[in-house]
């Protein structure tokens, strides 16, 4: 069974500094996808970044980048130049293909990030 | 373009009552999903649909029903509400064609409290 592990329940970072949120995964599939979502205190789930298992380059989206290390089965999220608005819960998720070729997301337990002014 | 919308935002139910959580998307996505998020946890899949008229169970379907009569709408029905169904419910949608599966986009969530 596929599994996502986020070992950091909470983290602090100083404003304007970079921070890395850890995510490790377990799968026997050769083709898979990894996602990061942000959940602010308002509760909505906001898609941040996606990495496919066959993508040769690490994904980047603005201040977000994904440090993908396939051999270690890790997909850490790096946020550069942290802003106060980055304070939120962050979830790592993996795509699990269902029998009819649709997919569901398997979520980790999340990391709460607090940005200090 | 509203994306994925959910109503209501918050609801309190008594044990044994029933209700329908509404979800609609205007992105012409063929796939739609219902997840629940319990406190301090990630999301778990309740039901999903790959197109109008087609639905299937996820990880935690007991106590829920769904229907998909149109591409846009995917309501979730709770029959005989129980305290264990206290959770935040998220609807999501995505587009899939020819084996290419795009990102799931989420609605704002419905917070349900069963007392």
Q: Residue A101 pLDDT more than 70?
A: no
B33: nearest CA in chain A?
A104
Q: Residue B42 pLDDT more than 90?
A: no
Query: Tens of pLDDT along B51-81?
Result: 999 999 998 999 999 999 999 999 999 989 9
Q: Which residues of B touch A44 (CB under 8 A)?
A: 106-109
Query: Tens of pLDDT along A11-38?
Result: 999 999 999 999 999 998 888 899 999 9
Q: Residue A72 pLDDT more than 90?
A: yes
Q: Residue A105 pLDDT more than 90?
A: no
Q: Does the CB of B56 have a partner CB in chain A at under 8 Å?
A: yes
Residue A71 confidence class, pLDDT cut points 50, 70, 90: very high
Share of chain B above pLDDT 70, in %: 97
Mutate to test the interface with A, among B5, B42, B53, B93 (most CBs of A within 10 A): B42
Pairs of residues, one from chain A and one from chain B, whose beta carbons lie less than 8 Å apart? 63
Query: Tens of pLDDT along B75-95?
Result: 999 989 999 999 999 999 998
The pLDDT of residue A96 is: 80
Under an 8 A CB cutoff, do B45 and A45 touch? no
Query: Tens of pLDDT along A35-67?
Result: 999 999 988 899 999 999 888 899 999 999 999
Taking the C-alpha atoms of residue A64 and residue A49, their distance in angstroms, rounded to an integer, is: 7
Residue B99 confidence class, pLDDT cut points 50, 70, 90: low
The pLDDT of residue A2 is: 83
């Amino acid at each position: 069974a596929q599994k996502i592990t986020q070992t950091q329940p909470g983290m602090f970072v100083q404003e304007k500094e970079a921070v890395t949120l850890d995510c490790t995964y377990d799968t026997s599939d050769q083709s898979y996808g990894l996602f990061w979502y942000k959940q602010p205190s308002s509760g909505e789930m906001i898609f941040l970044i996606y990495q496919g298992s066959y993508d040769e380059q690490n994904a980047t989206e603005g201040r977000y980048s994904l440090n993908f290390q396939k051999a270690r089965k890790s997909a850490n999220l790096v946020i550069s130049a942290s802003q106060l608005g980055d304070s939120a819960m962050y979830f790592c998720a993996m795509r699990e293909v269902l029998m009819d070729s649709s997919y569901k997301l398997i979520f980790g337990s999340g990391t709460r990030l607090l940005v200090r002014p | 373009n509203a994306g994925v919308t959910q109503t209501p935002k918050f609801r309190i139910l008594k044990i044994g009552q029933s209700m329908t959580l509404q979800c609609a998307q205007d992105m012409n996505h063929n796939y739609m999903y219902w997840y629940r998020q319990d406190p301090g946890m990630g999301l778990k899949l309740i039901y999903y649909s790959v197109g109008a008229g087609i639905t299937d169970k996820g990880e935690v379907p007991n106590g829920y029903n769904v229907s998909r009569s149109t591409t846009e709408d995917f309501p979730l029905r709770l029959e005989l509400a129980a305290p264990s169904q206290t959770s935040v419910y998220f609807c999501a949608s995505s587009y899939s064609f020819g084996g290419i599966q795009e990102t799931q986009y989420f609605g704002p969530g419905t917070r349900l409290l069963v007392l």
